[in-house]
Amino acid sequence: MNKVVANADEAIRDINEGAVLMLGGFGLCGIPENCITALVKKGVKRLTCISNNAGVDDFGIGLMLQQKQVRKMISSYVGENAEFERQLLSGELEVELIPQGTLATRCMAAGYGMPAIFTPAGVGTEVAQGKETRNFNGKDYLLEYAFNADFALVKAWKGDPDGNLVYRETARNFNPLMAMAGKVTIAEVEELVPAGELNPDTIHTPGIFIHRIFQGKSYEKRIEQRTIRKRS
């Protein structure tokens, strides 16, 4: 099976209106920059995006929000994006805010083939409204369902033609969990190396989870908020 595609445009070719997407990253670290740019270029709309956050106004998922491509965001943190706030308050954007650990575990459950999980996070809060609660050993837990994503878009440091991936430091974040969980997983990498070059002991995501892979270009690796101390 040839998993290598030429570029992001080819990789996202069948992402169409109404698709449910997982997008790796934490803040702007480890996000699939090239895939997001390709989606903006394609102009596909009514997307549901599962991501830890919504990027910033002019980068990451924020670029998709600018073009009104996102129908629903499922996230744990969204405080860096003014356009997100405007669309939420105006009723243009549907939002599901969930605890970060629940977000990660629902991704993991999907990757493991588990239909649901029970978690104590959110018990007794608005998060629990309308959800089943069950008591185990004297403690209440919420029933949360595994995500059902059509595509997972992840970004890695290195990869090979078989789809094996290595992430670099904190850019690993949500990427390994989401890589396991999409019906179709698309990986963009900074460096695509020949098969056999990656040390098996360093591989974070085995190639069995990856359906398409390409070498990305022109990574900005932006920082959301840069604080610089003045020289004394």
Summarize pLDDT for 33-69 with one digit per residue, the tens: 999 999 999 999 999 999 999 888 889 999 999 999 9
Q: What is the pLDDT of residue 17?
A: 96
Q: For 177-195, what is each residue's pLDDT tens digit?
A: 999 999 999 999 999 999 9
Query: Could you give the CA distance from residue 166 to residue 204 in angstroms, rounded to a whole number?
Result: 5
Q: What is the pLDDT of residue 210?
A: 97
Q: Collapsing DSSP states into helix, strand and coil, what is residue 75?
A: strand
CA distances from 229 to 54, 116, 221, 226 (A): 28, 46, 21, 10
Q: What is the pLDDT of residue 164?
A: 97
Domain 8-114+148-215 superfamily per CATH? Glutaconate Coenzyme A-transferase (3.40.1080.10)
Q: Which residues of the chain fall below pLDDT 70?
A: none
Between CA 165 and CA 177, with CA 171 as vertex, the angle to 5 degrees is 60
Q: So where are the chain's domains?
A: 8-114+148-215
Burial annotation 138-156 (CB, 10 A radius, 16+ → b, else e):
eeebbebebbebbbbbbbb
The residues pairing with 23 across neighbouring beta strands, listed in sequence order, are 153
Parallel/antiparallel/unpaired status of strands 151-159 and 47-50: unpaired
Task: Please give the helix or strand (H or E) that residue 67 lies within, else none.
Answer: none
CB 109 within 8 A of CB 117: yes
Query: Could you give the CA distance from residue 142 to residue 118 in angstroms, rounded to a whole number?
Result: 5
Q: What is the pLDDT of residue 80?
A: 79
Length, in residues, of the chain? 232
CB 197 within 8 A of CB 48: no
Q: What is the pLDDT of residue 198?
A: 96
Q: pTM (2 decimals)?
A: 0.91
